[in-house]
Amino acid sequence: MHTINALDEWGVLEVVSTGDLELAEMELERSEVGEMMQKNGFRKILVDDTAITSLPSSVELYQFGSTFWQSALPAKIIIAHVVHKDVLSEMEFLENVAVNRGTNIKTFTDHDEAFNWLKTQ
């Protein structure tokens, strides 16, 4: 499950996910975020996955990370991704796949640090 909030003052969409994180949910979330970004003209996303309880497989994370450029997200997006330290290595794998295909994404374990980085981009 996820919620999407517009942080209008900063031009940021905040996406908060909870529960089991599955590939289908991630793709739905990305599609909804893309639509909202295009409506609002936003280019920055703060993804908070600190409350997820399980992850997709490494193959699915690879698939998701390698398809940002094919998605509904606008070009030149900036993504700060906050995760629990227990899943940091898996999410850094997702980050590396996405970065290697031109997506500006950085993974954090601290929400404030992620938001501050996003504000400077």
Interval 43-49 mean pLDDT = 95
Q: Tell me which residue has tokens 């908060």.
A: 16
| Closest listed residue to residue 49, CA positions, set 101, 105, 103, 1 | 1
- Write out pLDDT tens, residues 83-100: 999 999 999 999 999 999
Domain span at 11:
2-120
pLDDT of 76 reads 86
Looking at the 3D structure of the chain, how many domains does it have? 1
- Write out pLDDT tens, residues 24-35: 988 988 889 888
Q: Give the number of other Cβ atoms within 10 Å of residue 88's Cβ.
A: 14
CATH number of the domain enclosing 100:
3.30.750.24
Residue 13 CA to chain centroid, in angstroms?
10
pLDDT of 68 reads 80
Interval 8-14 mean pLDDT = 91
CA dihedral for 102, 88, 117, 24, sign (positive or negative): positive
**Residue 80 to residues 8, 43, 44, 104, 115: CA-CA distances in angstroms?**
16, 11, 8, 9, 7
